[in-house]
Amino acid sequence: MDRIIDAIEWCAATFVGIVALNIFLAVVLRKFFSWQIPDSYDIGKMLLGTLIFWGIAATSYRGGHITVDLLWTAANAKWKRALDVFATLVLLFVVAVQTIMLFDKVRATFVDHVLTYDLGMPTWPFYAVAWLGDASAVVLIAIRTYRLVFHPHDLVEMQEAKVVE
pLDDT at 164 over 60: no
CA proximity to 105, closest of 80, 125, 81: 125
Helices (H) and strands (E) in the chain, counts: 6, 0
CB 25 within 8 A of CB 37: yes
The 10 Å Cβ neighbour count of residue 71 is 10
Model confidence band, residue 76 (pLDDT cutoffs 50, 70, 90): confident
For 9-51, write each residue's pLDDT tens digit. Answer: 888 888 889 889 989 999 999 999 999 888 888 888 898 888 8
For 120-130, write each residue's pLDDT tens digit. Answer: 999 999 999 99
pLDDT at 132 over 90: yes
pTM of the model: 0.79
Model confidence band, residue 163 (pLDDT cutoffs 50, 70, 90): very low
Residue of 71 and 154 predicted with greater confidence: 71
Amino acid identity at 1: M
Supply the pLDDT for residue 66.
Answer: 59
Supply the pLDDT for residue 161.
Answer: 47
For 86-113, write each residue's pLDDT tens digit. Answer: 888 999 999 999 999 999 999 999 999 9
